[in-house]
Structure 1
């Protein structure tokens, strides 16, 4: 962007600050107290909540993987097969199903884990 005068440059800088603050206030709109209206407190609260959200995405993946493994183990042990033996048998038969699919099978089609 080309500025033909110093006045236009100054106006542009003000607009940048406005939109920067507006973005923070939009993210902090649901907070209580001064963290909602005071920019210094709002920016701290928003950065903190974004950091927690980043960690939560990782923990959500770990929690879902653990839930899937629990469901698969329960479905296989219901028919007398241990989870490691089930995974080994599937691998030897070249059946490549991920944990999510196996967990869905354990819930909706429990007889697929039956031996023989």
Structure 2
């Protein structure tokens, strides 16, 4: 006779049901629906982790561009200038500098402008 409600089965279902806590309606109660909901949530989470990287890079670009335009330079010229001075700063660092440390950012801008004039 085939067992359907053995301890491992109950344990596996309980684990999946626990992951569906907080889901709405049958998505947190009925095991078939829960499997679908948890699988979909996992796939959304996977995609979201990839999108987060893109979105942050976009945000850093926008911040750098805004700070550069306030100083009569655009983003692409600034990045080109960074390459010319062989700077190891990445976009995240430059973005944080533009927001929290204006003096350092302005010093960097001066270096970039000098490199672009040559």
Aligned length: 105
TM-score (norm 2): 0.80
2:100 is matched with which residue?
Answer: 108
Match runs of 1:18-37 below 5 Å: 18-37=10-29
Quick check: 1:69 aligned with 2:38? Answer: no
Distance 1:25 1:93 in 2: 56
CA RMSD of aligned residues (A): 1.8
Give per-residue Cα distances to partners, 1:57-85, cap 9 Å, x unaligned: 11111111100000001111111111111
Secondary structure, counterpart of 1:52 in structure 2: helix
The structure number with the bigger radius of gyration is 1
Distance 2:63 2:16 in 1: 41
How far 1:109 sits from its partner (Å)? 2.2
Counterpart for residue 40 of structure 1: 32
**Any unmatched runs of 5+ in structure 1?**
1-9
- Which blocks of at least 5 consecutive residues in structure 2 are unaligned? none
Normalised TM-score (structure 1): 0.81
Q: Distance in 1 between matches of 2:11 and 2:94?
A: 48
